[in-house]
Amino acid sequence: MTGACMIPGIRFAGIASGIKNAALDLGLVVFDEPAYITAVYTKNKVKSAHILYNKRLRSNEVEALLVNSGCANACTGPEGVRDLKELSEKLTSHLKAADGKIVFASTGVIGRRLPTETMAKALPAAVKDLRKNGIDSFSRAIMTTDTYPKIARASFKGEKEYSIAGVAKGAGMINPLLATMLVFIFTDYPASPEKIRRKLLQGAKESFERITVDGECSTNDSVMLFTRQGREDLGCLDAFCNALFSVMKELAMMIVRDGEGATRVIHITVNGAQKKDIAEKIARRIAISPLTKTAFFGCDPNWGRIIAAAGDADVPIQPAKVEIILQGEVLAKNGIEMPFDEDKVKKLMEEKELELIVNLHNGRASYDIYTTDLTFDYVKINASYRS
């Protein structure tokens, strides 16, 4: 279920602070009572300043989240972290919050420092803009090349009815583990990080780590889950996890469907593998292959590109056993082409969402992932990203 939703005790704002030219670029979330944060960050060895800053905080209690778009604040040296400390002090003063209780996230161009003076001047306006139903403005303020805001929600019952709302940004530089995406999930469900961290990791593996747009891993990727403090309602922990996973999967699919310049989403399933790891590596290799992705864009059933990518995944494979099925049509079996109606398959490939199955016929393990086609517009967007 998509759309805006209100979470008790949480207020949102999204304003134009001046980082971008006349566009929303600064999002603020304030918790009426301190919340817990549980976070997962990029596996890229180069990490943005907001990740370095957040990891240094002594407590997992937070009172506010400040997110900016238009500047990644990555590769900015010690100054990038100090800029966040300065902003934290100023925002703490405006909110009358406790020291060290504000976390950050940034997205945009790598290598540029935040315009802290500009942002600091905008903080009073952001605080004034806070509203319980302001999640839509917040979601728009964190967008970069996204074509639409990404919000998902769910509810579940325990001792009371609880709500979850997730907000994401991301369209390019998507290759989890993780991706150029920021994801913020808010709930009034009371649970400590110790109880749910493994669940968050599991959810990320089954959602955000199952999508790729261009095979590029970012410096800023962050998934943050904010839960309420208080007596834990562990009797409905499974219901919470089901709702959480549902929101994460929905956000992940929004991201891949909004892939930069993409016209199609391809669901790739590799099965019949001896081990899941083998299936995953082959699926990921096919998913990031420029040749397979451009073939999908051109509606070209060139299965040779698919099997070639599979053979380049650096895992054992027996080509003479491989079967390739696209949109329900068998293109190859036992590693060789089967007779198929090329015009029919081309027509089937015009659909917005495609199904590709690669059966290795060598075991029972499988893995699936979602990717996009590679288009002229992707090149145009990224060839001029800084300008």
* Per-residue pLDDT tens over the stretch 86-125: 999 999 999 999 999 999 999 988 999 999 999 999 999 9
| DSSP β-bridge partners for residue 15 | 26
Is CATH 3.40.50.2300 the right assignment for the domain spanning 10-257?
Answer: no
- The span from the CA of 155 to the CA of 132, in Å, is 17
**What are the structure tokens assigned to 79, written together?**
């100054």
CA neighbor of 309 nearest in space, from 216, 215, 228: 215
| Region of residue 227 (left: phi > 0; alpha: psi -120 to 50; beta: else) | beta
- Listed in sequence order, the residues at least 6 apart from 232 whose beta carbon sits closer than 8 Å to its beta carbon are 190, 191, 192, 195
**Cross-sheet strand order for the sheet of 336-337:** 336-337, 329-333, 323-326, 353-359, 265-273, 365-372
- The span from the CA of 112 to the CA of 121, in Å, is 19
What pLDDT does residue 88 have?
Answer: 97
Instruction: Tell me if residue 375 is catalytic.
Output: no
- The span from the CA of 338 to the CA of 266, in Å, is 22
List, as one string, the DSSP characters of 143-179.
-SS-SS-EEEEEEEESSSEEEEEEEEE-SSS--SSS-
Query: Between the CA atoms of 119, 123, 124 and 130, what dihedral angle is there, to the nearest 10 degrees?
Result: 140
What pLDDT does residue 262 have?
Answer: 84
CA neighbor of 39 nearest in space, from 224, 245, 205, 227: 224
Bridging pattern class, strands 26-41 and 10-15: antiparallel
CB atoms within 10 A of CB 27: 30
- The span from the CA of 270 to the CA of 327, in Å, is 14
CB–CB of 185/35 below 8 Å? no
- Listed in sequence order, the residues at least 6 apart from 385 whose beta carbon sits closer than 8 Å to its beta carbon are 109, 145
CA neighbor of 164 nearest in space, from 6, 344, 32, 33: 6
Q: What is the CATH number of domain 265-383?
A: 3.10.20.340
CA neighbor of 293 nearest in space, from 365, 359, 377: 377
- The span from the CA of 234 to the CA of 158, in Å, is 9
- Would you write out the chain's pLDDT as a tens digit for each of its 387 residues? 444 457 999 999 999 999 998 899 999 999 999 999 999 998 888 899 999 999 999 899 999 999 999 999 999 999 999 999 999 999 999 999 999 999 999 998 899 999 999 999 999 999 999 999 999 999 999 998 888 999 999 999 999 999 999 999 876 544 555 445 799 999 999 999 999 999 999 998 899 888 887 665 677 888 999 999 999 999 999 999 999 999 999 999 998 888 777 899 999 999 999 999 999 999 999 999 999 999 999 999 999 999 999 999 999 999 999 999 999 999 999 999 999 999 999 999 999 999 999 999 999 999 999 999 988 887 877 776 554
Cα angle value 114/384/122 (rounded, 5°): 25
CA neighbor of 152 nearest in space, from 139, 134, 133: 139
Catalytic residue among 76, 144, 145, 180: 180
Residue 221 backbone dihedrals phi, psi, to 5 degrees: -55, 130
Specify the 3-state DSSP secondary structure of 16: coil
CB atoms within 10 A of CB 276: 14
What pLDDT does residue 174 have?
Answer: 47
The residue extents of the domains of the chain are: 10-257, 265-383
pTM of the model: 0.90
- Listed in sequence order, the residues at least 6 apart from 266 whose beta carbon sits closer than 8 Å to its beta carbon are 287, 296, 353, 354, 355, 356, 370, 371, 372, 373
Residue 326 backbone dihedrals phi, psi, to 5 degrees: -120, 125
